[in-house]
Amino acid sequence: MTFKLPWSKRHKKVTGGLPYNFSNSYTEPLTSKELLDMAAARGDQNLVDEYLDHTLEYTPNGGSLDLREEIAKLYGPEIGPDNILVFSGAQVIISTLAFALLDENSHSIVFTPGYQSVQEAPFFARSQVTKIQLKYENDWRIDLDEVEAAIQENTKYIVVNQPTNPAGTLMSAEEQARLVEMAQRNDIHILSDEVYRLLEHTPDVQIPAMADIYSKGISIVTLSKPWGGCGVTIGWAALQDLDLRDKMTDIQYFGTACPSRASELLAIMTLRSSDEILKRNIEIINYNMSLLDEFFDEYSEYFEWVRPVAGAVSFVKFKGPMDTDELGLALAKEGISIKPAYVFSDTVTEDVDFFRLGYGESNMAEALEKLKEFIERHKGEWD
């Protein structure tokens, strides 16, 4: 098996974990007490009591029915509780799916720059892989003609991440429909990493969940991003293809087949308070976006981006005389953390030398002030 090292390993050592943080990719986390209080205020005292009193037994493989029922409410009529498989977060689902669908005779199509797992998991499963380069000048959009041209007789799998990490861009519903039509015609499964879905900055840009619209589509979701629940470690796959679900269950058996009941109950509480939590998080995001709009206006000489429309991250070009690795190191010395381009690409060329800037948490304003101070002190050297 050809596991590569995590691309974020160097980042965690040299530019991560600092007080002024643009590196996170999630929204403002709640405390467990806040979540329990929200449940009680909603009249869900039974759930709170169960959380305090439940026995520490195993839960059923693939998630308890009550959680899967709650999750299924996020989807249309094709997706019921049996079409949901619960995992400990989304990361593990990406590799589980690759192992369930691929072997050395298969071919997959992935996109870069992007989250490492979504572009690399097919390699772990020994699949042949075509990596398609997303381009800044094309607003990081997927070029569907390029996808069509990359499809081979043995293509089994296309992996998309929409809204995107790291750019926060999102394909249109028309583009998504064309991708599905192409996959259907060629009998290809689509993994749609939708961990940033439901965090659209305005409702008009939202596109359907892949699991709702395609019989061979798999939507993956995690509490970590829209609901700021990384510590709950609950994610899920939603899919119509029950044979694939069974294969995934068999693979899951050898990993973490059952989530903790405490996590399941926190996940149910989160989903029942979803409207309230998402509203709060989108407000934080849109406030931060207004600060970032001012920042990009003021410092357009030094920074540019494709303005994101969804999610909690963006991909930013530094136009000064340092690459993003060097910029990350310079900022780290001042306690400011960004994610350089090497976290998102196998090979960093000028075309993809952007850094990721997260804006999902309310302490972003403070980090932005620090960044401005840094720029004011150094911009003379950059002209």
Ligand X SMILES: Cc1ncc(COP(=O)(O)O)c(C=O)c1O
Q: Which is nearer to ligand X, 228 or 328 (CB)?
A: 228
Told to check if 21 binds ligand X by CB under 6 A, we report no
C-alpha to C-alpha distance for 221 and 282, rounded to whole angstroms = 17
Q: Which is nearer to ligand X, 48 or 159 (CB)?
A: 159
Closest CA to 220 of 76, 34, 101, 84: 84
CB 219, CB 191: distance < 8 Å: no
Stretch that binds ligand X, among 8-16, 41-49, 88-96, 128-136 (CB under 6 A): 88-96
C-alpha to C-alpha distance for 111 and 132, rounded to whole angstroms = 5
Q: How far is the CB of 193 from ligand X (least distance, A)?
A: 5
Footprint of ligand X on 225-264 (CB under 6 A): 235
Phi-psi region of 89 (alpha: psi -120 to 50; beta: other; left: phi over 0): left
Stretch that binds ligand X, among 14-22, 48-56, 85-93, 121-129 (CB under 6 A): 85-93
Q: Which is nearer to ligand X, 91 or 314 (CB)?
A: 91
C-alpha to C-alpha distance for 339 and 141, rounded to whole angstroms = 21
Bridge partners of 130? 109
Binding mask 101-140 for ligand X (x = CB under 6 A): --------------x--x----------------------
Stretch that binds ligand X, among 86-94, 245-253, 346-354, 372-380 (CB under 6 A): 86-94
In sequence order, which residues have a C-beta less than 8 Å from that of residue 259 and are 6 or more positions away? 59, 63, 86, 87, 88, 233, 234
C-alpha to C-alpha distance for 199 and 202, rounded to whole angstroms = 8
Q: Which is nearer to ligand X, 25 or 337 (CB)?
A: 25
Binding mask 156-195 for ligand X (x = CB under 6 A): -----x---x---------------------------x-x
C-alpha to C-alpha distance for 41 and 269, rounded to whole angstroms = 11
Radius of gyration, alpha carbons of the chain: 21
Q: Which is nearer to ligand X, 16 or 89 (CB)?
A: 89
Bridge partners of 87? 235
Stretch that binds ligand X, among 12-20, 89-97, 245-253, 334-342 (CB under 6 A): 89-97
- Binning the chain into helix, strand and coil, the percentages to the nearest 5 are 45, 15, 40
Question: Which tokens hold the place of 49?
Answer: 């009591």
Q: How far is the CB of 164 from ligand X (least distance, A)?
A: 8
From 21, 59, 91, 345, residue interacting with ligand X (rule: CB under 6 A): 91
Q: How far is the CB of 39 from ligand X (least distance, A)?
A: 22
From 62, 63, 89, 360, residue interacting with ligand X (rule: CB under 6 A): 89
Q: Which is nearer to ligand X, 147 or 199 (CB)?
A: 199
Told to check if 25 binds ligand X by CB under 6 A, we report yes
Bridge partners of 46? none
Q: Which is nearer to ligand X, 303 or 344 (CB)?
A: 344
**306: DSSP letter:** P
Q: How far is the CB of 224 from ligand X (least distance, A)?
A: 4
From 8, 222, 314, 324, residue interacting with ligand X (rule: CB under 6 A): 222
Closest CA to 118 of 62, 206, 194: 194
Question: Which tokens hold the place of 118?
Answer: 């979504």
C-alpha to C-alpha distance for 303 and 297, rounded to whole angstroms = 9
Residues that bind ligand X (CB under 6 A): 25, 89-91, 115, 118, 161, 165, 193, 195, 222, 224, 235
